[in-house]
Structure 1
C-alpha cells in the first residue's frame, strides 16, 4: 500500500534495506537520531534544546532500547544534562525543558542496567534534588519518582540520602500536592529502609509531616508504612507521642478495613507503649471503651496479633504490679 501510494504520488522509495544493529530492534537510523538529539542538547539555541529534550523524553518512554543506549556511552547522560548543568539556578531554566530532562532521567532509571550509572553520574542526583524544589509540579513529582526507582539499589539509597534529598522530599510531602504525593511517599519509604536515612528523615521533619497527612486522611495506608518504619528511632517515637499519634492510630485500627494499615498502627503503638509509660492510660481507656487492641489480638494478621498481645501483656502486668503494691 505504501509502495503504491508513493508510485501514485511520484515519490521514489529508498532501495536499500534497513540494517538492524542488535536484538532490541535498533537501526542505524535510530542510533543516528540518538546522537543528533544529544548534540542538540549542547546547542546554544533554546529551541533546539527544547525540541531534542522532548523527543528524548518520548523515545525513552516508548522504547526500552533507547534507554539502553544511554548506558553505552559515558558522555550520553552529561550531554542530556547540559542545559541544566550550564545554569547556575534552576529558576533560569525554561520550565518545560527542565521537566523533559528530569522525566527522561526517570525513564532511564527504570532500566535496571542504568540505575548505578545514572546515580553515579556527577550532577544527576544534585539536579534531581534541585528539581524537587522548583519547576512544574510534574517536574517535582518525576524527580521524586526518579529517586524512588534509583533507590532500588542499596548503594544508591546511601548516595541519595547523603545528597540532601530527604529534606526536600519531606517538604514536598508536607505541601500535599496530590500529583506528587504517591511518588514522594514511595521514595521516602524506599530510602528509609537503611538506618542512616531513617535518622535523616526524622531530623528533617518527616514524623510531623506524615502524621499531619494521616490525620487529614491523606494516603493513610502508604504513610503508615513509613511511620512504622521510622518507629524504631527513639526521637521519632518521642515526636509521635507528643504529636498525638496514639489516639489517631487507635482510631484507625477501629475504623480501617485495611489489615496492613492496622498492622502498621499496632506496630507503632507497641513501640510507643514500650518507650513512654505516659501513653498507657490512653491505650487502657481505649481498651475499656472499645476493646480495640483485644479485637486486633484475635482478628489481626500474625504480626498484628503478636504486637497487640505484647501491649495487652504490658498493660496487665502494670495493673497487677499496682494491685500488689
Structure 2
C-alpha cells in the first residue's frame, strides 16, 4: 500500500511537471497572442496562463514535499517497508527483529541487551511474569539461525548487534506516570517528570510504546498542568519537562494522530505558548509544528485558539520560538481555510518585521510567499511599504529557496487583478523599474533554480507585454 502511494505521488509530480512545461511554453512562446487576436485579448490569455502556472507550481511544491517526507520516513531497506517480520523473530522488549537472541530460565527468547537490562533490576520473565529460578541466559542458536535464513531469503537487512544503552520498559514508565499524575509530593512529581523527559528524548523505544501500550498515558502525563490552573507560572520546571516530553512523544509518526486528538493536548500547548519559560514556549511551538504535518491534525489545530497564539509568538517572542512557530504556521496554512485566520491576527506585518531583522530570512520569506495566495495579502504588503524590501532581498540573496519564493511573489503580483487600475499600473511600473535598474529577474532567468528560472521568465514576459507600465 505504501509503495503504491509513493508511486502515485511520483506520477502526480511527473504529470504536474508536464503541465507546467506546457503552460510555460505558452507564456514564453509569443505571449499567448495569436496573429488574429487583439493586444488586449492576448494579454488576458497571458494573465490566465500565469495564474495557471502559479497554481501548478504550488501544487507541485505540495506533491514534492510529500515525496520528500515519504523518503525521509521510509526504511533504509526497501524490503523493510513492505515485509512483515514474523512476530516470533521480534523481541517483546525491543519490539524489533532480534540481532542476538538469548533464552532465559523461563524458556522465552529476547534480544540480549534488552533482557540484560531487565534482569539487572527484576527476576521475573517479561512475558510470563513468573519468578525466575536464576538470572542467567544463553544464546538461542536455533532462533538466531532461523532469523538469519529468513533475512537472507527475503533480502532483509538484519541490524547489527549493538551495545547502545536502552530506555526504561513499560512497567517503569508506568510508575513514572503514576508519580506524575498522583504525586506523594511536588518534589517527587517534578523528579518523575524530569526523568520521563530524559527518557523520551534519549530512547526511541520509550516514545514507541508510550502511546500504544501504556493505558491513558497522555492523560496521566498532562494531568498536573490543568490542575495547576493559573498558578502554573509558580512551577515552570514541571511545565517545561511535561511539555518537552510531549514534544518528543509527538516526534514519532505513529503517535501524531493520537496526541493531537487527545482533548487536553492542543489547549495545553496553546496555553504554554503564552506562559512559561522561553524554552517551554519554543517546545510548545515545535510540538505543534510536528503535529501539524498530518493533514487531519491541521484541521484540529486550525479550529482552536492556537493560530492566534502562534502568530503572537512570531510577533513578540525570542527568535528560536518564533522560528518554530513559523514552521507550525506554514504547515497549518497549507490548508487554505487557515490562511485567513492568521492574516486577521496580524501575521503579515509580523513576518515583515522578522524579515527586516535579517535573521533566518528564508523561513519567514517562505511563509510570506505561501500567504500571498490568500486574497488581500499582496495588497497588505504593498500598503505596508515592503515591496522595495522584497526587491532588496531578492536582489542580494544567495539562497535558492529565497529566490524561488521571491520570484513567486512577484509573479503573483504580475497576475493579480484587483480592479484598481492605478494600483496595478504602479505595481507593474515598480517591477519594470527593478528589472531595468538591476536586471534582477534576468539574473534569475539565467542562473536561478529550475523553479526560479521559470518564474522569472514568466515575469519578464509580463514586463514585455506591459510595455511602459500602462495597462496592456
CA distance in 2, matches of 1:323, 1:82: 63
CA distance in 2, matches of 1:296, 1:316: 16
Partner of 2:276: 135
Q: What is the total number of aligned residue pairs between the two structures?
A: 310
Asked if structure 1 preserves the Cα contact closer than 8 Å seen for 2:167 and 2:203, the reply is no
Quick check: 1:48 aligned with 2:188?
yes
Q: CA deviation at 1:299?
A: 1.9
Asked if structure 2 preserves the Cα contact closer than 8 Å seen for 1:19 and 1:28, the reply is no
Quick check: 1:250 aligned with 2:391?
yes
CA distance in 2, matches of 1:239, 1:263: 21
CA distance in 1, matches of 2:471, 2:271: 59
Query: What secondary structure is seen at the aligned counterpart in 1 of 2:320?
Result: coil
TM-score (norm 1): 0.87
Partner of 1:303: 451
CA distance in 2, matches of 1:124, 1:140: 14
Q: 1:159 to 1:144 in 2, by over 3 A?
A: same
CA distance in 2, matches of 1:177, 1:198: 23
Match of 1:113 among 248, 254, 258: 254
CA distance in 2, matches of 1:320, 1:279: 12
Quick check: 1:60 aligned with 2:60?
no
Q: 1:268 to 1:90 in 2, by over 3 A?
A: farther
Q: CA deviation at 1:65?
A: 1.6
Partner of 2:175: 36
Structure 1 residue runs of 5 or longer lacking an equivalent are 1-12
TM-score (norm 2): 0.61
CA distance in 2, matches of 1:319, 1:262: 25
Q: Deviations over 1:239-282 (max 9, x none)?
A: 11112232112111211111221110010111123225121222
RMSD: 2.7
CA distance in 1, matches of 2:447, 2:404: 11
Q: CA deviation at 1:29?
A: 7.2
Q: 1:288 to 1:46 in 2, by over 3 A?
A: same
Q: CA deviation at 1:32?
A: 2.7
Asked if structure 2 preserves the Cα contact closer than 8 Å seen for 1:90 and 1:131, the reply is no
Q: CA deviation at 1:321?
A: 8.8
Q: Deviations over 1:128-186 (max 9, x none)?
A: 00000110000000001101111121101111111121121111111241332331222
Runs of 4+ in 1 over 3 A off after TM superposition: 13-21, 25-29, 90-93, 320-324
Which structure has the larger Rg? Answer: 2
Structure 2 residue runs of 5 or longer lacking an equivalent are 1-118, 128-163, 417-422
